A and B are shown apart, each in its own frame.
Chain A
Amino acid sequence: VTAAPVPSLEDRPARALNKEPLVLLVGNPNVGKTSLFNRLTGERAHIGNYPGITVERRAGILALGNGRTASVIDLPGAYSLSARSPEEQIALEAALGLEGHPRPDLAVVVVDASQLARNLYLVLELAELEVPLVVAVNMVDEATENPPRLAGVSELFGVPVVGTDARHGTGMDELVRVIAERLEKPAAARVLVRYPDALLADARAVAESLPKDWKRNESRDRAVALWLLGSVDHDDELTHVPAAARERCLSIRAAAGDRDLDQERIGARYAFIDKALPSLYARMDRHPPKRKASERVDRVLLHPVWGFVLFLGLMLVVFQALFSWSDPAIGLIEDAMAATSGAVSDVMPPGILRDLIVDGVIGGVGNVVVFLPQILLLSLFIGLLEDSGYMARVAFLMDRVLKSLGLHGRAFVPMLSGFACAVPAILATRTMERQRDRTLTMLVIPLMTCSARLPVYTLVIATLFPPSHLFGWVPVQGLLMVAMYVFAIVSTLLVALVLGRTVVKARRIPLILELPPYRLPSPIVTIRTLVERATVFLKEAGTVILACTIVLWALLAFPRESATPVPGSAATATAAPAIERSYAGRMGKAIEPVFEPLGFDWKLDVGIIGAFAAREVFVSTLGLVYGVNDADEEAVPLREKLKNETVDGRPRYTPLVGLSLMVFFALACQCMGTLAVVKRETRSYRWPAFLFAYMTVLAYAASFIVYQGGKLLGFGP
């Protein structure tokens, strides 16, 4: 359906004739916008970022036929254009080409065929702003019982309308044809909503205050003014709002008295839509359609008992998958890295270059790639939970619990995943829309007992706590392991409570959660999301991890000593391992006084420095200190050496030192991977720096209390 051509815009974007046109993709959440984007752009998509904020910018290329192409930008899903944060403001700026955004040549608005009663609100806003539009009425396959009249929608806004089913690819050729046609003959959408006179007077007053680059013509200026009146508030966080316009809006709000500005604006728009609806659906008694199937599923999945049982069962599967199913893949990667190292060692002459390549570069690549199995598995689960509509139900079920901690209902799955590994868990915080919720969740996830802590706990418990039983039957070793988990959970919750009220404090934002109908996830969207997640991780976090690995390698490897000891030299036989004279060894000795009050000596300190690569590296680094090569937590020689280490004739490492060490590892952010992904996800150095600082201080303080307190209570040195 194509509308009658409207006179072309007086000011088309000034651009070279051969320049690729720009098409925006806009739509409410849960209308199949991502599927449509994938259908339009095929294999080619590029993930970038809007400058200054953490909103991801997905762009792709659309083939229009005849060798012509257009670039397509997928805007984040939104119910309306009005904004209170810079993240939400992107929608308006991108649609109008303000503040450095390129002006789009066309916007494709995606709506749900059976949800026009609320999806048309966004179409109306864009039409008022005179953005050239094409409306894609999507999911027509779900609306066969009472299909919308596309011609009616087309007449209402004066724009072309295409019925699509992006999941199965229906209507896509038609959509591309209409897009190409509309790019040839651009025309602005137009719509006339009857607003109260008082509101129109306010809008005129705001429009007068607009700077030159925000102005265009009377009707569009009015639409921009209405956006400002609906977005500017005394406590909004908007940037790039012209100062004069902001002042005008605030004084109008202050002088509104009994008038209800929001009701005047929004009410008039919905009155317009509700009046038009009978001409859009043949059967108004069947609009909106009942959600029988979804309601039936919800009766089970949101059941007070069965809902939680199924939810916990599902979480168990996710957790089990991260913990165990990823093991074979991780093993394969480790074997492949070892084989590569071996092959390189065989062909290269021994020396600094070989060590750099084997221990630094190959080891570093291994440190990066080893995260992939868990990242892919968790992304897959999150993707399936999201696309099926269940993730919204998780938030619905868990909101009551997490709300009291200041966390978002959707924080549950990422936090649980933190028990496997913080890196995929932090990437999974994307499931929350608001940056504040994401930041808070990212800051507490690294406190969860991730699997990399287990080798450290195992070594300490097995070495320093003899197998004995409490009350004759409770095994002390097992009890300690459980205690470390409980300790982690309690500290996570307490830290979330404190940080949510201080560092990442935000206005309490009331929950508004849409529970979309259950749908089968689309395999194309799922796979594409997985590939995108993996690429972004490898490219952006991977480089940081690789660089850190090389630095850590250098700290442990330099300064180098002669590869072959002087024959007959008595010193070499009794010399301490090379690591003692390395920079890391010297650093360990230098910081010994700092960590001494925690009960650590320089050898443990070197282990802690090495553990920055990943916590489990503590064990192998400590092995190097004791001359035990390739030590793991089961290595008996290392355990024996630790047990036999004495000072003044008494054991150096007492159970109290072990406890202090475990508490330190529970709380300290000994993981460069975590810091690298937090930097990637917050787009700043500030948050990873804060994360490292607060966790280190917390770890130091807690270990100090454990060790000094234990000594006071007489639990030995």
Chain B
Amino acid sequence: VTPTRLADLALRGVAVIEHVGGEGSFRRRLMELGLVPGTRVELVGVAPLGDPLELLVRGASLSIRRADAESIRVSALTAAATSDGRTSLEPAPARGGQ
């Protein structure tokens, strides 16, 4: 488990939220949507132009911009994508509604 920023997660990477940073109301919105510490998050996609990102949290697909995802600290549960583009998915601990 390596601490990192949500924005640095590899595609299809799974992590657990450690701390949500950022401007007050944005941070509050994200947390109210369920991005609270301990919740599992997966980076499921990136928009064709490189921004924004698509996250899977509590069964919902949420999109935020890369710059904002930099202020969210996570512990990655999976390694980065392997060289052939596939990812190795390990089972994540069932917390945060997962």
A residues contacting B by CB (< 8 A) are 79-80, 82, 84, 114-115, 117-118, 121, 230, 233, 235-236, 262-263, 266-267, 270, 273-274, 277, 284-285, 287-289, 291, 294-295, 298, 302-305, 307-308, 392, 396-397, 399-401, 403, 509-517
Per-position 1/0 for B36-62, Cβ under 8 A of A: 110100001101111110101111111
Near A by CB (< 8 A), chain B positions 25-81 give 25-34, 36-37, 39, 44-45, 47-52, 54, 56-65, 68
A-B pairs with lowest CB-CB distance, top 10: A288-B59, A117-B97, A400-B49, A304-B48, A513-B63, A515-B61, A80-B32, A510-B26, A118-B34, A117-B58
Query: Are A302 and B45 touching (Cβ within 8 A)?
Result: yes
Q: B1 contacts the other chain (Cβ, under 8 Å)?
A: no
**B36, B51, B52: the one within 8 Å of A270 (CB):** B36
Query: Taking CB as reference atom, which chain B residue is nearest A284?
Result: B94
Contact A294-B34, Cβ < 8 Å, known A233-B25, A303-B48:
no
**B37 proximity list for chain A (CB < 8 A):** 263, 267
**A84, A115, A262: the one within 8 Å of B31 (CB):** A262
Distance of A704 from chain B, by nearest CB (Å): 39
Query: Are A400 and B97 touching (Cβ within 8 A)?
Result: no
Q: B3 contacts the other chain (Cβ, under 8 Å)?
A: no
Contact A510-B68, Cβ < 8 Å, known A230-B28, A262-B27:
yes
B residues contacting A by CB (< 8 A) are 22-34, 36-37, 39, 44-45, 47-52, 54, 56-65, 68, 94-98
**A509 proximity list for chain B (CB < 8 A):** 25-26
**A233 proximity list for chain B (CB < 8 A):** 24-25
Query: Taking CB as reference atom, which chain A residue is nearest B31?
Result: A266
**A308 proximity list for chain B (CB < 8 A):** 48
Query: Are B62 and A512 touching (Cβ within 8 A)?
Result: yes
Distance of A192 from chain B, by nearest CB (Å): 19
Query: Are B60 and A118 touching (Cβ within 8 A)?
Result: yes
CB pairs A–B below 8 angstroms (6 shown): A288-B97, A396-B52, A511-B52, A512-B26, A514-B63, A515-B62
Query: Taking CB as reference atom, which chain A residue is nearest B91?
Result: A285
**B97 proximity list for chain A (CB < 8 A):** 117-118, 273-274, 277, 287-288
Contact A514-B61, Cβ < 8 Å, known A262-B27, A288-B97, A396-B47:
yes
**CA A303 – CA B48 in complex, angstroms?**
7
**CA A270 – CA B63 in complex, angstroms?**
21
Can you add 8 more A-B contacts, CB < 8 Å, to A289-B59, A397-B48, A510-B26?
A: A82-B28, A270-B34, A274-B95, A274-B96, A288-B58, A291-B61, A303-B48, A515-B63
Considering residues B22, B32, B47, which has the most beta carbons from chain A within 10 angstroms of its beta carbon? B32
Query: Are B59 and A114 touching (Cβ within 8 A)?
Result: yes
Contact A510-B33, Cβ < 8 Å, known A303-B48, A515-B61:
no
**CA A266 – CA B38 in complex, angstroms?**
13
Query: Are B36 and A117 touching (Cβ within 8 A)?
Result: no
Query: Are B65 and A263 touching (Cβ within 8 A)?
Result: no
Contact A399-B65, Cβ < 8 Å, known A79-B33, A512-B33:
yes
Contact A79-B32, Cβ < 8 Å, known A263-B37, A302-B48, A304-B48:
yes
Query: Taking CB as reference atom, which chain B residue is nearest A273?
Result: B97
**A288 proximity list for chain B (CB < 8 A):** 58-60, 97-98
Query: Are A514 and B34 touching (Cβ within 8 A)?
Result: no
Distance of B95 from chain A, by nearest CB (Å): 7
Distance of A137 from chain B, by nearest CB (Å): 15
Contact A513-B22, Cβ < 8 Å, known A270-B96, A287-B97:
no
**B60 proximity list for chain A (CB < 8 A):** 115, 118, 288, 514
Distance of B44 from chain A, by nearest CB (Å): 7
Considering residues B27, B45, B61, which has the most beta carbons from chain A within 10 angstroms of its beta carbon? B61
**A274, A284, A294, A305: the one within 8 Å of B61 (CB):** A294
**CA A291 – CA B98 in complex, angstroms?**
14
Contact A262-B28, Cβ < 8 Å, known A288-B58, A510-B65:
yes
**CA A599 – CA B52 in complex, angstroms?**
49
Query: Taking CB as reference atom, which chain B residue is nearest A277?
Result: B97
